Amino acid sequence: MVDQAAPVRRLRRAERREQILDAATRAFARHGFADTGLDDVAAEAELTRAMLYRHFESKADLYRAVLDRSCARLIETTGSGDYDDRAIPALVEAASGDPDGFRLLFRHAAREREFRDLTSFMAVASRELAHRNLARVIPAGPWLEWAADLIPVLTVEAVIAWLDAGQPDPGQAPERIAAAVQGVIDAARAPIRWPAE
């Protein structure tokens, strides 16, 4: 008796590329760039290394494509305009729609020197956006600078922590994250009076 496998459906080049990017995103999200080999990506995609090389010149080229796609998806969901009531819900939506890509952008790539250009650009843009919007409610000075530095980092880390916790209460997550952000804004705006000892 001969075991015959089901026929393999040939994918168009663009479909195959997306399949590889999906698999690479999952593989890289587990261990980052340095600790993930092309054999890991090939196994995740159920393809050969040769097939990967038909679409990407190197592991670095593949990783850059994964980061670029994740960044494009993030911008598509969140936009790139001013901070408003929709900003945090959009960020949570982007993270829940592509959790591995979100983690790659904000957890792994930020620690990988070769790809820090993308994450540095995003960090600078986020800080500038935060500063521009916070300047409307926080007086100019060191506490405005503090809040503009802290809020983008706090927001991203809050979203990642929410992902890591299993995405509890997705309808409430934006409100909870917004409350943490509001706490920073409140702390930056008002003088804090400590109880007398």
**Segment 82-102, tens digit of pLDDT:** 677 888 999 999 999 999 999
Answer yes or no: is 26 within a domain: yes
Mean pLDDT of 158-175: 96
Look at residue 13 in the predicted model and tell me its pLDDT: 80
DSSP the chain: ----PPPPPPPPHHHHHHHHHHHHHHHHHHHTTTT--HHHHHHHHT--HHHHHHH-SSHHHHHHHHHHHHHHHHHHHH-SS---TTHHHHHHHHHHHSHHHHHIIIIIGGG-GGGHHHHHHHHHHHHHHHHHHHTTTS-SSHHHHHHHHHHHHHHHHHHHHHHHTT--STTTHHHHHHHHHHHHHHHHHS---PPP-
pTM: 0.83
Residue 102 lies in a domain: yes
Count of structural domains within the chain: 1
Residue 140 lies in a domain: yes
In a domain, 111, yes or no: yes
User: Does residue 90 lie within any of the structural domains?
Assistant: yes
8: in domain: no
Q: Is residue 97 in some structural domain?
A: yes
Q: What are the pLDDT digits (tens) for 170-196?
A: 999 999 999 999 999 999 997 766 666
Q: Which domain holds residue 116?
A: 13-189
What does the pLDDT read at residue 6?
43
- CATH label of the domain that carries residue 31: 1.10.357.10
The verdict on residue 196 lying in a domain is no
